[in-house]
Chain A
Amino acid sequence: MPLRCEDDTVHFEDTCAVEEALTLTEHLREHPGARADLSRCTYLHTSLAQVLLAMKPEIAALPGEPFMARWLNPLLETPPDSPGDGLVKVRS
């Protein structure tokens, strides 16, 4: 399983495909404080990236793969649009 959901951390490993998007969403909904560790991720499907951008979990480690490091990291560090446009965190 490329996506390993522990209670406080979600580990992204190797190729993370579109099927995991719902799992990730549910997990983040249930564990609002969970962090994302992308250090060992080599391929992240757009849908997963979108979940990260929308739900803004705390990023424990950024991906090291060059393409993502170049084009995704800036987004994860500072979300794409103006601050505060993430999801309304109902339960936090």
Chain B
Amino acid sequence: VPLTRLVHAGEDLLGIIRAGDAELTSEMVDQLLESLDHVSEWIEHLSGQGELPAGVVEESQKGVARLRALCPGGKKDGAEAGEAAADAKLDLEWLQSVPEDDLITAFSRAITGRPVTAIRYTPATGCFYNGEDPFNLFRQVPELLTLHTRRQEPWGNAEAFDPYVCNLTFHALSSASRSGEPQHGFRYVLEQTAFARMKPEDLICVQGSKTSGADMSKFRSAARHSIGRNDFKSLRAAAGLLLQDLPADIWEASALRWLAAVLDAPLPNPLWAAALAESAATRLPPDWAAATALLASLHAGASAGKTAVSPLLLHILREQERILALPAADEEQAHRRLVAVTAAAMNLARSSGRTDLLEVLAAVQAEEAGEAGQLAGILAGWRIAAEAAQSAAASAAPEAQSGGHPAEMAARKMLKVDQAKVDMLMNLIGELVVWKNSLPFLAKRAEEVFGVREMAREIKDQYTVIDRLSQEMQGSIMQVRMLPVSEVFERFPRLVRDLSRKLGKNIVLDVEGEDTAADKTIIECLGDPLIHIVRNSIDHGVETPEARQAAGKPEAAVIKLRAAQEADQIVIEVSDDGKGIDPQRIKAAAIAKGVIDAEQAERLSDQEAVNLIFHAGFSTAAEVSDLSGRGVGMDVVNSTVDKLGGQVNVTSQTGQGTTVRLSLPLSMAVTRVMMVEACGSLYGIPMDAVAETVRVPAGRITRIKQAETFVLRDTVVPLVRMSALLRLPETGGDDGGDKAVMVCRVSGTVFGVVVDCFREGTDVILKPLDGVLSGLRGFSGSALLGDGRVLLVLNLKELL
């Protein structure tokens, strides 16, 4: 129960945010994340021990209280949800006794886009003993529009009256523009207060005596006519004229005053205008539903096409309003924003054919230092009108809507499959791919052994078909196993947020290419190395805001997380614009730790020095000596990526930032190997290690001390013999003929391997050596060849 209560509180808050009744603040996010952590902790505890940890009730209550406090208009407890409806009614009811002037003021603020917040404050009866002063709390409410005080209970007998029992309750409206501002003054009495964002139409409250019997029928038909043609100017004039003739305190006059207020908006809302004009005639409170229907019928004949408002327009309008409402860092920023929004609004007006608006906006633009409030008003008016038109259009043509939302309807057909089944399928396809390779052998045999050339050709024809099919099958089974990198990336916003808050650094995370896909195994293994890298970037790379300012960089650092596919590799880059790695400090730390000696350090280039951070054992060195150099866990990163057959590169520029680049194979299922013959048996070498194959005449091999070398395109390439690598007896012997040299590149170094002869490249399914063989070094694994032989695939890195 404590758990669900907390979850519900969070859901409520999110619901309010989604409904747009509140702005998402950093504070809310903190609180929500914290609650989420609590909940997952509890669930873990629950599944592990079968009960909730001690103290969970208090913790949950605290969390609920904090979340509720953040809810504008929030209720104290979920149990009170039923009360919400009653509360809303109560709110409307008290509005009846608020002077109309106050309401109209509030209304005109609301339609110009200012949030109007209703506050209900019912102090505890004993509040005077706590030093509270409810009435004067309202002195702190900014932009108080109205304050309504009433008693909670009848006063009762004079003798029994206790002046220290608070029997008052307060209702107020405030148009404080920043969210949370009206609440601020009540932060110590939040349990006794309720806040609600008022919609402009909720404020419309016609009051007055209904007994005058003024004849409004003429006005009613004139109003309908004007509204039907969107001619609000003449309606406003008519209302103004009529008002002069009516006594001020009657219902009709009040309705007309409201109508005038509605029409005074830069863009009058036709729905409200219609409802109020009707209300003036019927002497009944404005009925929005009836007015919507009326409006639809009025518009249906006039201009059916025009009323259709694209949802996109609405969306853009809302977005522009949101931009306007954002707090600006300084005058200049505010001004730039204003100019941008004005321009956007003008474009909108142009595209939707609103020439009238265009003029208004041009006026705003001409004013140079146009005021944000004015523009916000125009936009809000436009949006409200557009919304009304949209709802009118919707009710006029309900059948058009009924078929809608095809995108939502067409739920994706998904299948949940056990991973083992997919793996099984992949293994089978892999076998097929390998066995298909036996067909060329068969063709060869048919030709050479049985001498049926015709048959051989036919087998080869069939082979091409099976080859194509199996490649396609392989491709699609890969797709099944592919996951987008967003699986890994999605945890980073949280990580960056938490860490940057903790360290007091200002960091923007920029994620790019999150839908790049790679094999599940790769994606799953990527998580930890990436966390290490990002954490290092935040911890060591990014400077404090002060240091950044001193260095002339923007206060907020940017950490870029970029994924992309390059050929058959997936490349993930983590770059920051922090202070970079200082090679000198790395060298110093490496010498201190005994990783290299001073002489070696002298010879290292900066890039090589930077690469030292991958050195096992270096991490701790950096940590102990409290150096800023990255190093924590980098050797872990390196070894993980290495295991996956990938590479890590670090480039860094002091003062400019650091980029860590991981490149990994897209898929690990099928490995392309180069087959070579050495010492009488066949070996495979992973294709990505092979740079090229050359034949070198024996005469060009020169011996430098113990090592053999040869010159390839003006570069000295060291030579090793395969037989020496494998510690097998030399078979061919130095016969002085050409040597088959495979030029390999392993972790950046180039060398040649002398083999007996080259064979073709082939796709194999690499099976790691297991059982008693698992301890063997120098082999990546074994694979089955098309003719049934077993191929040992070498791991050159381990062999060297």
Contact = CB atoms under 8 A, between A and B. Distances in A.
Interface of A: 18, 21-22, 24-25, 29, 43-51, 53-55, 67, 70-72, 74-75, 80-81, 85-91
Interface of B: 99, 123, 128, 131-136, 138-139, 144, 147, 149-151, 154-159, 161, 163-164, 166-168
Given A87-B157, A88-B158, A89-B158, A49 B135 contact: yes
Nearest to B129: A18
Contacts of A72: 135, 149
Contacts of B128: 18, 21, 46-47
A43 B149 contact: no
B161 A46 contact: no
A75 B138 CA distance: 15
Contacts of B123: 46
B129 to A, nearest CB: 9
Nearest to A18: B128
A51 B128 CA distance: 13
Given A46-B128, A80-B151, A81-B150, A22 B163 contact: yes
9 contacts: A18-B128, A18-B164, A46-B133, A50-B167, A53-B151, A55-B158, A80-B150, A87-B156, A87-B158
A24 B163 CA distance: 9
For the complex of A and B, list the 7 residue pairs with the smallest distance between their C-beta atoms, beginning with the closest: A21-B163, A46-B135, A87-B158, A71-B147, A25-B163, A54-B155, A80-B150
A71 B163 contact: no
Given A55-B158, A71-B144, 13 more contacts: A21-B164, A22-B164, A45-B135, A47-B166, A49-B135, A49-B149, A54-B161, A55-B161, A71-B149, A80-B150, A81-B151, A86-B155, A88-B158
Nearest to B156: A87
A87 B157 CA distance: 6
Contact of A54 (B132, B139, B167): B167
A75 B149 contact: yes
A85 B167 CA distance: 13
Contacts of B155: 54, 85-87
Contacts of A74: 99
Contacts of B131: 18
B159 A90 contact: yes
Contacts of B147: 70-71
Report which residue of B132, B157, B159, B163 has the largest number of chain A beta carbons within 10 angstroms of its beta carbon: B163
A29 to B, nearest CB: 7
B136 A45 contact: yes
Contacts of B134: 46
Contacts of B138: 71
A91 B311 CA distance: 69
A80 B149 contact: yes
Contacts of B167: 50, 54
B161 A87 contact: yes
Nearest to B167: A50
Instruction: Provide the main secondary structure of the chain A interface.
Output: helix
Contacts of B144: 71
A45 B560 CA distance: 57
A71 B138 CA distance: 10
A46 B163 contact: no
Contact of A46 (B150, B151, B156, B168): B168
Nearest to B123: A46
Contacts of A91: 158
B150 A47 contact: no
A67 B168 CA distance: 18
B166 A50 contact: yes
Contact of A45 (B133, B151, B156, B158): B133
Nearest to A68: B135
Contacts of B158: 29, 55, 87-91
Nearest to B154: A85
B476 to A, nearest CB: 74
B136 A51 contact: no
A7 B166 CA distance: 27
Report which residue of B154, B158, B161, B168 has the largest number of chain A beta carbons within 10 angstroms of its beta carbon: B158
A62 B705 CA distance: 111
A46 B164 contact: no
Nearest to B160: A87
Contact of A51 (B132, B149, B154, B163): B163
Contacts of A87: 155-158, 161
B688 to A, nearest CB: 79
A27 B261 CA distance: 48
B166 A46 contact: yes
Given A21-B163, A50-B163, A50-B168, A90 B133 contact: no
A63 B156 CA distance: 27
A47 B149 CA distance: 13
B120 to A, nearest CB: 15
A75 B132 CA distance: 21
A56 to B, nearest CB: 9
A80 B570 CA distance: 73
Nearest to A54: B155
Contacts of B135: 44-46, 49, 71-72
Contacts of A75: 149
Contacts of A53: 149, 151, 168
Contacts of A29: 158-159
A24 B135 CA distance: 18
A49 B170 CA distance: 13
Nearest to A49: B135
Contact of A90 (B139, B157, B163, B166): B157
A90 B161 CA distance: 12
B105 to A, nearest CB: 12
A70 B105 CA distance: 15
Contacts of B139: 67
Nearest to A17: B133
Contacts of B161: 25, 54-55, 87
Nearest to A50: B168
A48 B8 CA distance: 41
Report which residue of A46, A49, A51, A67 has the largest number of chain B beta carbons within 10 angstroms of its beta carbon: A46
